[in-house]
């Protein structure tokens, strides 16, 4: 008899599947020289930019690891460090214009994945899943 997987693991499996699909279409679209670890870090950058320490926390990696990943991304022209307008001593990491064409590619794949999941689950169950995950975010997302 197959064991019943924990809900958190089921969510992780679905998340991993989605990331693999998104990373795959980004590579097909010409995104080269960016590792999965770097892409996972970039996924956590806010529109206005994000401090390196916050990126490290969100990606659940050491700040030194995040620094090394950002250094490589910056050297390749994918991100830049800019002054934080709220704190003159701090810097924000944000995507460059080189990365901009890939954002719509990623969002299109996100929509395709959700459409496939909705087709599989049905509109009501998909809406319930989304609602449940949004409710869980209230107690699980430290960045709200």
In angstroms and rounded to an integer, the radius of gyration of the C-alpha atoms of the chain is 17
Please count the other Cβ atoms lying within 10 Å of the Cβ belonging to residue 101: 11
From the list 59, 4, 7, the residue with the least C-alpha distance to 36 is 59
pLDDT digits (tens, 9 = 90+) for 53-109: 999 998 889 999 999 999 999 999 999 999 999 888 889 999 999 999 999 999 999
Rounded Cα distance between 138 and 133, Å, is 9
Domains identified in the chain and CATH numbers: 21-139 (1.10.10.10)
pLDDT digits (tens, 9 = 90+) for 9-50: 999 999 999 999 999 999 999 998 899 999 989 989 998 999
Phi, psi of 101 (to 5 degrees): -65, -15
């Amino acid at each position: 008899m197959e064991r019943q997987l924990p809900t958190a693991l089921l969510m992780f499996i679905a998340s991993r599947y989605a990331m693999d699909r998104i990373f795959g279409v980004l590579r097909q679209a010409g995104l080269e020289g960016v590792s999965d670890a770097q892409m996972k870090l970039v996924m956590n950058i806010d529109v206005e930019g994000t401090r390196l320490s916050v990126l490290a926390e969100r990606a659940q990696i050491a700040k030194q690891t995040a620094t090394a990943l950002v250094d490589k991304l910056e050297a390749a022209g994918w991100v830049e460090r800019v002054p934080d307008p709220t704190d003159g001593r701090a810097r924000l990491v944000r995507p460059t214009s080189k990365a901009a064409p890939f954002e719509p590619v990623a969002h299109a794949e996100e929509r395709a994945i959700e459409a496939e999941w909705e087709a599989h689950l049905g509109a009501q169950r998909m809406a319930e899943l989304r609602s449940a995950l949004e409710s869980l975010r209230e107690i699980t997302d430290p960045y709200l």
